[in-house]
């Protein structure tokens, strides 16, 4: 059923009794051309691109819980393409362009809202680093503006300019950045992929791989039985190491908790997205009115999906230091997601050393904004057995070759990325 | 030839204003900077813990602390600062680095910290209430008794904390804080204690 | 989280810094072995041995046995060179 | 004195009639008493309409009397202290309180946005996902702003929060959440055992439900028992009772978060006091005695002002002596609800009817009804008449199908009780279903925690006391306290019978989540569209995501989902419970760390002297460093900095460089140790000499650099960059303790021990001769370049002198114990006066290092190799060191890497800027020809032009090539020449001379 104001109005007349499920809740078949492990944004986007762009429709997406139950449903909903290193810049811009047409592609309103993303700087050195990055963006055809304090005072007068330990001096603005409604992205891809014949199978946990005599992956073992597959792609974020281990692989990845927070809903207070440059804090305001904010990862390996108190304090300290008017706004909820932190802070989208198994992992906390781009290039890799040109540097062997893509320059220390 | 004076200045010289601070009435907290001290870090060499202990005993008449404690010797306090290491705190000139060097030759490495720290004594009814805002350590009298010490952090800054002898029936907490952080931490302590009222002073007397 | 430092006693998380898996041993040489040591991780879901630094306390490096599913800490011991003055003494 | 409190009873209640308080709601003046909440005072004044709902802007009243309130949210206070979404039910009344209703325009009574109700047929759950997609541009321009304006409840202050907060640690054996019968009994048992106890109560009065429901305990009235118990607890030295304090979360290792509202009951905090305080409580055990929350029944019109939870109605009448209605109807499905009828009668109010969904009513209640002269109707409420002025008439579907109507101005509702399972479930635990009470109860809890009393599903008074007391005793024992617990308080248990009833079918909107306007039909729609998982249900409908976190709505919502999807409630399950238990001000989590106190500040030993000189300071990490020293008449920083550089290059200057990390490396193996952490050798360094060293990370990338001197056979003095001081110390300790424990080496940070100054310029030696004891030989032979040793100063003070140069001039660094740092600065000024000595800041320091081509932070950016920096030759091939193997990887040794090179504009008048990219001449900039960027720039007084360093592909092979500096961000594009990175004195004659 096509979604529009007209279909809504029609449905209203019948008390909304005729709506169909947004996606088919499928039962597993014996075999698919492609099985995608992970019913998050990346997995569902991959399935949709396989079906819509690459003509592969005999596809299943396996989700151990409910779709979107992983990081797709527990992030701070930011989209941007303000990266500075070759490999990242083009890829995230590809993703941004796909965000810009998502609603039309999917016939689902994911509330992609380009209200701007600004990274604030507090020192000359930081300004210089932002200038380098902003120029990279511009050279790659991406919008970027370097604002000084005067411009910033006009745009965000409520920032702490005058009474701060580290006064804000300016910022790097990407106006096309913004937010999207995270759950709706999941449901939108599920809706559109399902309509093209993709089977979305919930409550189906992968427990192992089936391999042939040559070691090639021929399918997966799941909590709902064996499922054969021509190719298997994994897009399981924080569970990447666990799934890869089932195929005998060790990855350059650690799993860490990243917390996010939302405040009580309030009338519009903060435009766009902003990140504090002198502490760990970034914030936007949702359409519902809550301030959605976050900061640094908790800092130690974890699969526990819950955050600690010191980081919560650290984030709020950053918030108060930057925007002292939020002191009386109340924090409503705290949650944690498991990040697949790679060794250089950059994702891996590559064929694995195991024939027939494709890896999409290492997103650190950048996974949400990558959703459409990741789905597209991963579908490309699976369909063509060749990396898309914008993902060509996301190779698994880059660490062996010394070709890391390390935006923060922190080295093989995942909790510092 | 120019005439130089090499006057010393405590890192709290500017920040410390003698007198009352914060809420009026009976002050809940006494904050005293102790000036003019020598402080030497003593670190046992590999396999030489025994020799260091022996040397300590011979020189100070007491054993070096092997657990987080502050041990009073005749004219010095030996404060545990980590595994196989402790600090020797004494009135200026008593146990300076050069004097201790021969004592620990071969058994321990010494490093002068006399200028690296400021020494602050915290006492009064509200000493624990104030420190609870700064320290995650349990300072309950049953847990942190006289002579207890801790290498810990306050306000994300490393400090050495120990409990001295009680004064007028009240606990006294001593704090060694890094010199370059001292002014900042001092203001934080004052902010934390303002609601109780503070009496500020400095002294060259050791508690 | 609170970690019982073998030297200092139980302390708040904020005094410690995390490094990571303590299982890999630094190899003397060999590009593959060093690559493995620097980059590859078991990323244990369960009980794991980890390096933590008590930088906000006694500056000892510690080996902490911790469950990454529950955060429960079952053992803490000093690194080989923490408290080494007692070695052979 | 009653003022206009028409709905206030003449006596009773825990209010102080001798302490009247004036307040304003929506500008209108009212009065109440000490002991009131804003909600109880509004009730006493007959105010029924208090707010408007989120989506449909429906009129709403007061539903509860606690922190679970979904409707009665107000903007409390004004100006910079305005607090949106404050629950009137927990806001304590104070003199002069000002509150305003929210989410309405222009007024609460006439809210234009209530037109949304007309669109309600379209505004169903998730409608926005299906529309607003065309045209695409309209989303940001039109649709979204409209949605954002409509949503969002109250208005934040929009001004910097003027109040202070602090954060405190507390330690105890047993922390107890809640001071109802179970909590008090737990505190009693634990306290008597000798345990250190902290009892947290979110209310401002202890007693929990005892305050409203009374009872008899140990033969005393509830009030007497509470008073006696509190007196006993207060006499115990290690029991701390904290009112106005909510335990909101449990974290690893037995750490609990609690928020104390220290001064929210006053117009503003008294001087020197905080508004709120965040407690981090470390406890060996925790008893959750947080009680239970009465749950509504979902029926059409259940959001009408005047519909109230039955227990809340008792609270208003008994605790606050305020009557929410004069003629009350009660709708219950359980025994407990009947207490409200008893309370109403005792207070002299009329009971219009009791509508009981159960087939039978106890004989006692039947006789109560006949005595009170009201009917007992078996059935359910199917509709409510009344709008913003409140309940008028209630429609009842009687069992068997007949209908009845009841006239009343208040409807009390009791659908049973939900134990407060939040705290026990915050470690992602899921509660379990108990059929007998039709509620979820805790199923396990985080380590050390146990639930007792109503929080554990024990609803009788006797059971609460018993469970609380036993939990308190056990917790104390587990914490190692074994004192005599004395006797357990005893009370009778009232019977509890209940027939589950979640939703009454009927015409009209029946609200599940009142704050978010989620109706029963929204839940059904979600099910129809496949959002059957409770988490999907929550996310699709926003059920339970409001400021009350679904405390009154979640269970009903999933019960309705269970019914429409043909599953049981436990099969349907609950969503994950997420802290905090109540919303907590962001300011409280920040505490002291805001404004200038966000982070600590480090001051150099000469800071105050520099401030006296009028220095401009720059933040470098936590440090404040003198950036430059302006002089009168200088028009900008560049003029000052240029003067400082020229003064150094032609005479002498000095700069406080104490911010460098300084580490004593002691021990017989110190040299061997340094050989392993630096790429170059240090064991071969002679005593009395210094050497520049470079450290890599294990991945082969440059980590840090600095000069290290050998002061004795077994003593090196190592310096790090300012930025990496702490990290390098940590890294070295890792190497010492973990990687190389066999080495006998000791490390100590001496960063704060030494005040260190760089003295540079051709007249350095002249100046030093004034300061240093004449017996010291400072000649080139006596103290050659890279020499390092202790010297005596005039007056006898000992100092360390290092002949090292960052500026390229003849230079020394001198260290004195830090408390002499200020004296050193003054004495350098005195001694240097004849030579025109000039203090210089970090900018001049930076200029001179760029002129000399020294790399610093912008080049050591965590991605560069030693070879990239032009320091590849330093890498020893004779030894192992950290990072050696990985540094040899193909991509790190590739010939086309970006390497450090000098850059200068071909037009000497051009300003060069950091961050400009390097593009070959004649090409269109694009990702394929982006060959590097400018890392550091300065105006070079020596060359009289802007110069810089950059990382450029094969840069060192391209010296002399003209390329483009492309800077679209700043709208600039100009030609630059790639040149040798050492702009000044390339053969180093000046620093050796």
Contact between D474 and D480 under an 8 Å Cβ cutoff? The reply is no
Q: How far is C79 from chain D (nearest CA, A)?
A: 6
Contact between C55 and C17 under an 8 Å Cβ cutoff? The reply is yes
Hey, is D451 helix, strand or coil? strand
* Topology of the domain comprising D501-572: Arc Repressor Mutant, subunit A (1.10.10)
DSSP secondary-structure letter at A95? H
Domain holding C10, by residue range, is 2-84
pLDDT score recorded for residue D805: 95
Write down the architecture of domain D895-992 according to CATH: Beta Barrel (2.40)
Which part of chain A is CATH 3.50.50.60?
23-107+182-253+344-416
Q: What is the mean pLDDT of each run of 10 residues along chain A (417 residues)?
A: 87 89 96 98 98 98 97 95 97 98 95 97 97 98 98 96 95 98 97 98 98 97 98 98 98 97 96 96 96 96 95 98 97 95 98 98 95 98 98 98 97 95
Strand-pair partners of D43:
none
Residues of chain B contacting C57 with CB distance shorter than 8 Å: 82, 150-153, 158
* Per-residue pLDDT band at D1 (split at 50, 70, 90): very low
Across the interface, whether the CB atoms of C58 and B82 are under 8 A apart is answered yes
Across the interface, whether the CB atoms of D166 and B192 are under 8 A apart is answered yes
Residues of chain D contacting C82 with CB distance shorter than 8 Å: 737
* Topology of the domain comprising D602-658+754-848: Gyrase A; domain 2 (3.30.1360)
Across the interface, whether the CB atoms of D753 and B195 are under 8 A apart is answered no
Report the pLDDT averaged over residues D796-802: 96
- Give the span between the Cα atoms of D301 and D188, in whole angstroms: 45
D145 pLDDT above the threshold of 90: no
Report the pLDDT averaged over residues D183-201: 98
Q: Neighbouring chains of A at 3+ CB pairs within 8 Å? A: C, D
* Per-residue pLDDT band at C89 (split at 50, 70, 90): very low
Q: How far is B61 from chain D (nearest CA, A)?
A: 25
Which class in CATH covers the domain with range D296-415? alpha beta
- For B163-201, the pLDDT digits (tens) are 999 999 999 999 999 999 999 999 999 999 999 999 999
* Per-residue pLDDT band at D3 (split at 50, 70, 90): low
Q: How far is A310 from chain C (nearest CA, A)?
A: 7
**CA A177, A181, A183: angle at the middle one, nearest 5?**
140
| D135 prior amide bond cis, ω within 30 | yes
Residues of chain D contacting A166 with CB distance shorter than 8 Å: 598-599, 619
The CATH number of the domain covering residues in D16-127: 3.10.20.440
Count chain C–chain D contacts defined by CB atoms under 8 A.
Answer: 72
Which residues have a Cβ under 8 Å from the Cβ of C43 and sit 6 or more positions away? A241, A242, A250, A251, A253, A254, A255, A301
Torsion, Cα of D607, D608, D609, D610 (10° steps): 50
Higher pLDDT, D107 or D859: D859
- The structure tokens 């234009």 sit at D112
Q: Is the dihedral of CA D908, D913, D914, D919 positive or negative?
A: negative
Does the predicted TM-score (pTM) go above 0.95?
yes
Q: How far is C52 from chain A (nearest CA, A)?
A: 10
| Distance, CA of C64 to chain centre | 5
Q: Closest Cα to residue A210, out of A230, A190, A192, A240? A: A230
DSSP secondary-structure letter at D319? I
D91 pLDDT above the threshold of 50: yes
Give the one of B84, B136, B151 whose C-beta lies nearest to C86's C-beta.
B84
* Per-residue pLDDT band at C87 (split at 50, 70, 90): low
Across the interface, whether the CB atoms of B49 and C85 are under 8 A apart is answered yes
Q: Closest Cα to residue C81, out of D189, B44, D304? A: B44
Residues of chain B contacting D281 with CB distance shorter than 8 Å: none
- Give the span between the Cα atoms of B177 and D528, in whole angstroms: 64
In chain A the first and final C-alpha atoms are separated, in Å, by 43
pLDDT score recorded for residue D162: 97
Contact between D836 and D675 under an 8 Å Cβ cutoff? The reply is no
| Helices assigned H by DSSP within A35-165 | 41-52, 88-99, 102-106, 124-139, 149-155
CA within 13 Å, CB half, D86: 30
Proportion of chain D above pLDDT 90, given as a percent: 92
Q: How far is A293 from chain D (nearest CA, A)?
A: 11
pLDDT score recorded for residue D111: 83
Give the one of D521, D857, D930 whose C-beta lies nearest to A136's C-beta.
D930
Q: Which of A44-48, B202-206, D334-338 has the weakest average pLDDT?
A: B202-206
B17 pLDDT above the threshold of 50: yes
DSSP secondary-structure letter at D713? T
Residues of chain B contacting D597 with CB distance shorter than 8 Å: 187-188, 191
pLDDT score recorded for residue D2: 45
- Give the span between the Cα atoms of C70 and C4, in whole angstroms: 17
Q: Closest Cα to residue D747, out of D804, D669, D686, D694? A: D669
Across the interface, whether the CB atoms of A413 and C18 are under 8 A apart is answered no
pLDDT score recorded for residue B207: 58
Give the one of B6, B9, B112 whose C-beta lies nearest to D795's C-beta.
B6
Contact between B64 and B123 under an 8 Å Cβ cutoff? The reply is no
Contact between D63 and D414 under an 8 Å Cβ cutoff? The reply is no
pLDDT score recorded for residue D762: 97
B1 pLDDT above the threshold of 60: no
Average pLDDT, rounded, for chain B: 95
Write down the architecture of domain B19-35+115-203 according to CATH: 2-Layer Sandwich (3.30)
- For D957-978, the pLDDT digits (tens) are 999 999 999 999 999 999 999 9
Residues of chain D contacting B41 with CB distance shorter than 8 Å: 748
CATH assignment of D663-749, among 3.40.50.920, 3.30.70.1400, 3.20.20.140, 3.50.50.60 = 3.30.70.1400
Across the interface, whether the CB atoms of C1 and A400 are under 8 A apart is answered no
Residues of chain B contacting C13 with CB distance shorter than 8 Å: none
Is C41 inside any structural domain?
yes
- Give the span between the Cα atoms of B186 and B177, in whole angstroms: 9
Q: What's phi and psi for D451, nearest 5 deg?
A: -100, 150
Q: How far is D430 from chain A (nearest CA, A)?
A: 14
Report the pLDDT averaged over residues C33-52: 98
- Give the span between the Cα atoms of C81 and D667, in whole angstroms: 14
CATH assignment of A117-174+254-341, among 1.20.1510.10, 3.40.50.920, 3.30.9.10, 3.40.50.12780 = 3.30.9.10
Interface mutation vs chain C, best among D724, D885, D886, most C CBs within 10 Å: D885
Residues of chain D contacting C30 with CB distance shorter than 8 Å: 885
Interface mutation vs chain D, best among A116, A199, A280, A330, most D CBs within 10 Å: A330
Q: At what angle do helices D534-541 and D520-528 cross, to 10 degrees?
A: 120
Q: What's phi and psi for A105, nearest 5 deg?
A: -65, -40
- For D487-511, the pLDDT digits (tens) are 999 999 988 889 999 999 988 999 9
Across the interface, whether the CB atoms of B184 and D601 are under 8 A apart is answered yes
* Per-residue pLDDT band at B2 (split at 50, 70, 90): low
- For D889-943, the pLDDT digits (tens) are 999 999 999 999 999 999 999 999 999 999 999 999 999 999 999 999 999 999 9
Which part of chain A is CATH 3.30.9.10?
117-174+254-341
- Give the span between the Cα atoms of B87 and B81, in whole angstroms: 6
pLDDT score recorded for residue D138: 85
D84 pLDDT above the threshold of 70: yes
Distances (CA, A) of B129 to A314, D244, D319: 23, 18, 34
Is C89 inside any structural domain?
no
Domain ranges of chain B: 19-35+115-203, 38-112
The number of distinct structural domains making up chain C is: 1
Hey, is D421 helix, strand or coil? coil
pLDDT score recorded for residue D492: 94
Which part of chain D is CATH 2.40.30.110?
895-992
| A interface with C, Cβ–Cβ below 8 Å | 241-242, 245, 250-255, 299-304, 308, 310, 343, 399-400, 412-415
The CATH number of the domain covering residues in B38-112: 3.30.70.1520
pLDDT score recorded for residue D220: 98
Instruction: Pull the structure tokens for residue D181.
Output: 């019968």
pLDDT score recorded for residue D646: 98
The CATH number of the domain covering residues in D165-292+420-478: 3.50.50.60
Interface mutation vs chain B, best among D819, D828, D837, most B CBs within 10 Å: D819
The CATH number of the domain covering residues in A23-107+182-253+344-416: 3.50.50.60
Proportion of chain D above pLDDT 70, given as a percent: 100
Instruction: Pull the structure tokens for residue D952.
Output: 């450029």
- Give the span between the Cα atoms of D328 and D309, in whole angstroms: 12
* Per-residue pLDDT band at D150 (split at 50, 70, 90): confident
pLDDT score recorded for residue D713: 97
The CATH number of residue C25's host domain is: 3.30.2270.10
Interface mutation vs chain C, best among B152, B157, B161, B181, most C CBs within 10 Å: B152
Q: Neighbouring chains of D at 3+ CB pairs within 8 Å? A: A, B, C
pLDDT score recorded for residue D862: 97
């Amino acid at each position: 059923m096509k979604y529009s104001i007209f279909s809504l109005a029609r449905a209203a007349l019948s008390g909304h009794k005729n709506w169909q499920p947004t996606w088919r809740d499928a039962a597993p078949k014996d075999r698919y051309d492609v099985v995608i492990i992970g019913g998050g944004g990346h997995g569902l986007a991959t399935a949709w691109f396989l079906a819509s762009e690459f003509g592969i429709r005999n596809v299943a997406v396996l989700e151990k819980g409910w779709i979107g139950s992983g990081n797709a449903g527990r992030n701070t909903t930011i989209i941007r393409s303000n990266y500075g290193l070759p490999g990242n810049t083009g890829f995230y811009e590809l993703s941004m362009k796909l965000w810009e047409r998502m609603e039309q592609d999917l016939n689902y309103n994911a509330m992609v809202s380009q209200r701007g993303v600004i990274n604030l700087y507090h020192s000359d050195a930081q300004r210089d680093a932002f200038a380098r990055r902003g120029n990279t963006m511009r050279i790659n055809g991406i919008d970027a503006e370097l604002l000084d304090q005067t411009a910033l005072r006009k745009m965000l007068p409520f920032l702490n300019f005058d009474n701060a330990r580290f006064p804000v001096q300016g910022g790097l603005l990407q106006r096309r950045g913004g937010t999207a409604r995270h759950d709706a992205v999941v449901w939108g891809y599920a809706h559109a992929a399902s309509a093209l014949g993709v089977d979305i199978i919930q409550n189906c946990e992968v427990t192992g791989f089936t391999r042939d005599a040559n070691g090639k992956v021929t399918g997966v073992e799941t909590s709902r039985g064996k499922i054969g597959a021509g190719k298997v792609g994994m897009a399981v974020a924080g569970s990447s190491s666990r799934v890869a281990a089932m195929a005998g692989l060790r990855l350059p990845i650690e799993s860490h908790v990243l917390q996010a927070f939302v405040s009580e809903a309030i009338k519009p207070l903060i435009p766009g997205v902003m990140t504090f440059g002198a502490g760990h804090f970034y914030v936007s305001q949702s359409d519902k009115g809550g301030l959605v904010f976050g900061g640094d990862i908790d800092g130690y390996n974890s699969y526990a999906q819950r955050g600690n108190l010191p980081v919560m304090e650290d984030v709020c300290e950053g918030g108060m230091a930057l925007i002292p008017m939020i002191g009386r706004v109340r924090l409503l909820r705290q949650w944690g997601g498991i990040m697949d932190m790679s060794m250089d802070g950059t994702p891996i989208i590559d064929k694995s050393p195991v024939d027939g198994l494709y890896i999409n992992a290492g997103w650190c906390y950048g996974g949400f904004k990558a959703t459409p781009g990741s789905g597209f290039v991963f579908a490309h890799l699976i369909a063509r057995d060749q990396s898309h040109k914008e993902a060509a540097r996301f190779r698994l062997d880059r660490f062996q070759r010394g070709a890391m893509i390390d935006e923060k320059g922190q080295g093989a220390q995942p909790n510092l990325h | 030839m120019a005439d130089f004076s090499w006057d010393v200045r405590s890192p709290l010289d500017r920040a410390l204003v003698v007198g009352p601070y914060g809420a009026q009435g009976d002050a809940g907290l006494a904050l005293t900077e102790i000036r003019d001290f020598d402080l030497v870090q003593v670190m046992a060499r590999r396999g030489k813990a025994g020799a260091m202990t022996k040397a300590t005993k011979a020189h100070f008449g007491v054993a070096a602390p092997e657990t987080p404690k502050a041990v009073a010797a005749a004219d010095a306090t030996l404060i545990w600062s980590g595994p196989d290491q402790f600090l020797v705190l004494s009135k200026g000139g008593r146990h300076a680095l050069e004097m201790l060097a021969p004592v620990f030759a071969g058994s321990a490495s010494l490093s002068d910290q006399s200028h690296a720290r400021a020494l602050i004594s915290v006492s009064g009814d509200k000493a624990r209430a104030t420190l609870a805002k700064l320290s995650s350590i349990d300072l309950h009298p049953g847990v942190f008794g006289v002579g207890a010490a801790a290498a810990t952090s306050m306000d994300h800054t490393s400090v050495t904390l120990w409990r001295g002898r009680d004064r007028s029936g009240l606990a006294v907490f001593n704090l060694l804080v890094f010199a370059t952080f001292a002014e900042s931490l001092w203001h934080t302590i004052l902010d934390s204690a303002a609601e109780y009222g503070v009496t500020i002073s400095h002294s060259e007397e050791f508690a | 989280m609170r970690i019982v430092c073998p030297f200092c006693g139980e302390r708040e998380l904020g005094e410690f810094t995390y490094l990571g898996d303590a299982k890999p041993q630094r190899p003397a040489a060999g590009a593959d072995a060093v690559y493995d040591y620097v980059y590859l991780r078991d990323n244990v879901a369960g009980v794991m041995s980890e390096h933590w630094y008590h930088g906000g306390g006694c500056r000892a490096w510690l080996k902490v046995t911790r469950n990454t599913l529950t955060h429960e800490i079952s053992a803490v011991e000093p690194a080989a060179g923490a408290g080494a003055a007692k070695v052979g003494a | 004195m009653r003022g206009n409190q028409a709905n206030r009873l003449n006596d009773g209640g825990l209010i102080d009639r001798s302490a009247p308080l004036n307040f304003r709601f929506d500008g209108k003046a009212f009065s109440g008493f000490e002991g009131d909440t804003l909600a109880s005072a509004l009730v006493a004044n007959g105010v029924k309409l208090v707010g408007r709902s989120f989506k449909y802007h429906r009129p709403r009243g007061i539903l509860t009397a606690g922190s679970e309130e979904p409707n009665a949210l107000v903007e409390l206070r004004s100006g910079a202290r305005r607090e949106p979404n404050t629950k009137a039910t927990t806001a304590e009344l104070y003199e002069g309180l000002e509150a305003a209703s929210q989410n309405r325009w222009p007024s609460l009574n006439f809210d234009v946005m209530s037109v949304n109700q007309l669109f309600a047929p379209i505004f169903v759950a998730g409608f926005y996902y299906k529309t607003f997609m065309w045209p695409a541009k309209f989303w940001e321009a039109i649709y979204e702003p409209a949605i954002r304006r409509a949503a969002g409840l109250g208005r934040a202050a929009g001004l910097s929060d003027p109040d202070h907060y602090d954060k405190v640690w507390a330690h105890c054996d047993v922390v107890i959440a809640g001071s109802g019968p179970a909590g008090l009994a737990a505190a009693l048992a634990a306290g008597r055992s000798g345990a250190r106890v902290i009892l947290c109560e979110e209310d401002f009065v202890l007693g929990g439900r005892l305050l409203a429901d009374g009872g008899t305990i140990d033969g005393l009235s509830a009030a007497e028992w509470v008073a006696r118990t509190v007196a006993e607890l207060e006499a115990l030295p290690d029991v701390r009772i904290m009112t106005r304090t909510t335990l909101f979360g449990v974290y690893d290792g037995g750490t609990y978060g609690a928020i104390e509202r220290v001064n929210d009951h006053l117009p503003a905090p008294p001087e020197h006091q905080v508004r709120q305080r965040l407690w981090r409580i470390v406890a060996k055990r925790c008893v959750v005695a947080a009680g239970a929350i009465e749950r509504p029944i979902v029926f059409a019109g259940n959001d009408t002002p005047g519909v109230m939870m039955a227990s809340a109605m008792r609270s208003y009448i008994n605790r606050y002596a305020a009557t929410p209605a004069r003629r009350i109807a009660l709708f219950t499905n359980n025994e407990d609800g009947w207490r409200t009828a008893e309370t109403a009668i005792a207070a002299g109010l009329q009971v219009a009817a009791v509508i009981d969904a159960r087939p039978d009513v106890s004989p006692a209640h039947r006789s109560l009804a006949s005595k009170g002269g009201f009917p007992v109707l078996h059935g359910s409420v199917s509709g409510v008449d009344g709008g913003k002025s409140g309940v008028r008439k209630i429609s009842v579907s009687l069992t068997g199908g007949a209908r009845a109507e009841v006239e009343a101005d208040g409807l009390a509702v009791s659908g049973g009780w939900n134990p407060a399972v939040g705290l026990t479930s915050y470690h992602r635990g899921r509660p379990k279903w108990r059929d007998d009470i039709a509620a979820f109860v805790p199923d396990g809890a985080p380590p050390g925690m146990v639930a007792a009393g109503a929080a554990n599903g024990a609803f009788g008074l006797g059971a609460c006391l018993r469970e609380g007391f036993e939990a308190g005793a056990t917790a104390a024992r587990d914490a190692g306290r074994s004192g005599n617990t004395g006797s357990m308080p005893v009370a009778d248990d009232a019977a509890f019978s209940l027939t589950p009833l979640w939703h009454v079918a009927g015409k009209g909107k029946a609200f599940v989540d009142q704050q978010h306007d989620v109706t029963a039909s929204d839940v059904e729609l979600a099910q129809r569209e496949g959002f059957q998982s409770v988490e999907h249900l929550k996310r699709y409908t926003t059920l339970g995501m409001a400021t009350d976190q679904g405390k009154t709505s979640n269970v009903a919502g999933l019960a309705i989902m269970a019914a429409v999807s043909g599953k049981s409630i436990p099969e349907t399950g609950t969503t994950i419970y997420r802290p905090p238990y109540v919303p907590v001000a962001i300011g409280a989590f920040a505490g002291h760390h805001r404004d200038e106190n966000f982070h600590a500040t480090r001051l150099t030993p000469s800071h105050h002297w520099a401030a006296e000189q009028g220095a401009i300071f720059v933040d470098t990490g936590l440090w404040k460093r003198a950036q430059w020293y302006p002089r009168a008449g200088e028009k900008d920083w560049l003029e000052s900095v240029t003067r400082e550089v020229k003064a150094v290059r032609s005479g002498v200057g000095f700069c406080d460089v104490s911010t460098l990390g300084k580490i004593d490396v002691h021990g017989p193996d110190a040299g061997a140790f340094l050989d392993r952490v630096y790429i170059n050798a240090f064991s071969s360094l002679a005593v009395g000499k210094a050497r520049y060293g470079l450290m890599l990370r294990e991945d082969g990338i440059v980590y840090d650099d600095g000069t290290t001197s050998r002061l004795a056979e077994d003593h090196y003095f190592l310096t790090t960059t300012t930025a990496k001081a702490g990290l390098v110390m940590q890294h070295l300790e890792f190497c010492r303790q973990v990687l190389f424990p066999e080495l006998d080496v000791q490390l100590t940070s001496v960063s704060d021990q030494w005040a260190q100054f760089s003295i540079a310029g051709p007249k350095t030696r002249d100046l030093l001769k004034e300061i240093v004891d004449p017996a010291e030989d400072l000649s080139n032979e006596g103290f050659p370049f890279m020499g390092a040793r202790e010297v005596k100063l005039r007056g006898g003070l000992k100092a360390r002198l290092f002949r090292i140069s960052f500026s390229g001039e003849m230079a020394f660094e001198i260290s004195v114990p830090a408390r002499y740092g200020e004296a050193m600065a003054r004495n350098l000024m005195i001694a240097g006066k004849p030579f025109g000595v000039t203090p210089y800041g970090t900018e001049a320091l930076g200029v001179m290092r760029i002129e000399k081509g020294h790399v610093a932070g912008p080049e050591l950016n965590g991605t560069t190799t030693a070879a990239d920096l032009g320091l590849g030759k330093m890498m020893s091939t004779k030894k192992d060191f950290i990072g050696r193997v990985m540094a040899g990887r193909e991509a790190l040794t590739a010939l086309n890497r970006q390497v450090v090179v000098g850059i200068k504009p071909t037009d000497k008048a051009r300003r060069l800027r950091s961050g400009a990219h390097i593009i070959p001449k004649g090409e269109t900039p694009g990702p394929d020809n982006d060959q590097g960027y400018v890392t550091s720039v300065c105006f070079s007084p020596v060359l009289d032009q802007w110069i810089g360093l950059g990382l450029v592909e094969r840069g060192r092979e391209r010296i002399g090539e003209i390329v483009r500096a492309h800077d679209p961000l700043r709208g600039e594009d100009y030609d630059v020449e790639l040149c040798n990175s050492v702009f000044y004195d390339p053969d180093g004659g000046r620093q050796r001379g």
